[in-house]
Structure formats: structure tokens, C-alpha cells
Amino acid sequence: MLTAITRGVSPALRSCQLEYLARQEIDLAKAVEQHAAYEACFAGLGVRVVSLAASPDQADSVFVEDAAIVLDEIAVITRMGIPARRTESETIAAALSSFRPLRRIAAPGTIEGGDVMCCGKTLYAGVSRRTNQNGIEQLRAIVSPLGYAVIPVAVHGCMHLKTACSWLGDGRLLMNRDWIDADVFTGLEIIDVPRDEPWAANVLRIGDVIIMPAGFPHIADRLATIGLHLKLVDITELAKAEAGVTCMSLIFSSSG
């Protein structure tokens, strides 16, 4: 079965770390409501949700994806690029320890889960403001013995690789080419987001369903046209913190 680890919305979310968006007022109650609906979406798809308590002192802690990279064999506990966020990792490590052996990224490396996209046995790793080359080299050393290849990708227009690129399965990627180096994705079919929907490239595949944010009708229509089954979720308040649908969960196969 699939398990999703999530974490409640911190009451300090309005003080979240931003990279590319101007700060806007976040309706905290609405953000909590949207996050609950996000978790309910997983439950409706048969995913077991392990929901961790919100952390009052960690503004960005709802974004659990950044704290770990979960593979079939192991979980890699990351060292995040923002020093203030690094304390988030221990709670996530404790939650994952029941499911996977743990490995860790050490200084001076930094890497965040939002910068790592798994496509089968290939891990595309974004080189961004949050993830450096040393962190990627450490990841490669950890996962290469398990048969994984690690391919760096330059990220220059958004916070993380998966803000600009998502795995749709079946050899297809959804992408905003303006924000990353698309040339490294050889042998894969790229579906481009429309220029008027630049934030639409972050989606999450669960089984045969693609979870994506509501509010991007053009790419939603195109994905539906090619036969993908979509589930739309409203994350408008959370998106003010540069959230996407991947960053608020860690999803992996586990025993019952």
C-alpha cells in the first residue's frame, strides 16, 4: 500500500521562507482547511495518511518533502539549504525510521527533496538556491550502489526542480522550460505548460491519478485530452508560500 507522511500547517506559516514570490497575506484558517482537503484527497485514493502535528516554531514545516528523499530501499535525510529549516528533519527522520533504513547528507552539502525527481532508477537533482553540487554528489554516492543514476539539472527560475518539472509516468514529463535546463531530459516526452500558466508544472501522480492544483484550466484540459485522470485540489493560500502539491507529502510504498 501507499503511505503519505504529512504535517500540519504551522501557525507561523506567514513567516515562511520565500525565493521567487513577493510576500502576501496568508489566511491561516483557510490554509489549514485546504491542507485538510489535500490529506483527504490521499485518503480518498486509498493512501494511508500519517499526519504529524503542526510545529508552532517551524514556519515551513508543512513542506515535509524537503526533509527527505524516500526510495524503495532507503530514505535519505536531507540537509536543507536554509539553516533555519534544518531542525525540521529530525521529526521526519523519526517518522520514516519505521519504514526505511536512513542515510544522511552531511555538511557542506545541501539538498532538498523538492529538488529531486525520481523517474524509475534515475534521480534528476536540481542545482538550485537550496541544493548544491556537494549535496548531489553525496546523494549519488549513497544511491549508486542501489542501482540509481543521478543527473544534475540547472534550476534558475523557481525554488525547486519540481516546481518546474513533474513526472507523469509512462516516459512523460510536465515542464516549464523557462525555469530549468530541459536539455538533460533525453529520451523523455515533454509536455509544456502554457506561458500563461507558469506555475502549473508541479503535479503528483498517485497510481493512475494526477493530483494537480485547481486554477490551471488550459493544462488540465490538455492532460485530460491525452487520457490522464485528474484530481484537482485548491491550494491557493498554501501557494502563497510557494507550495505545490508534491511538497506537502512524502509518499512511498509500505507494508500494511
Q: Are 57 and 88 in contact (CB under 8 A)?
A: no
Q: Cα–Cα distance between 132 and 79 in angstroms, integer?
A: 10
- Beta-carbon-side half-sphere exposure of residue 227 (alpha carbons within 13 Å): 3
What nine digits make up the cell of 77?
535525510
Question: What is the secondary structure of 25-45 as a DSSP string?
Answer: ---HHHHHHHHHHHHHHHHHT
Q: Is 35 a catalytic residue?
A: no
Catalytic residue among 16, 35, 160, 165: 160
Name residue, grid cell 518533502: 65
Residue 156 annotated as catalytic:
no
To 10 degrees, the CA torsion angle through 169, 68, 94, 83? -160
Give me the catalytic one of 16, 41, 158, 247. 247
DSSP 177-224: GGGB-GGG-TTSEEEEPPTT-GGGG--EEETTEEEEESS-HHHHHHHH
Q: Looking at the annotation, which residues are catalytic?
A: 160, 247
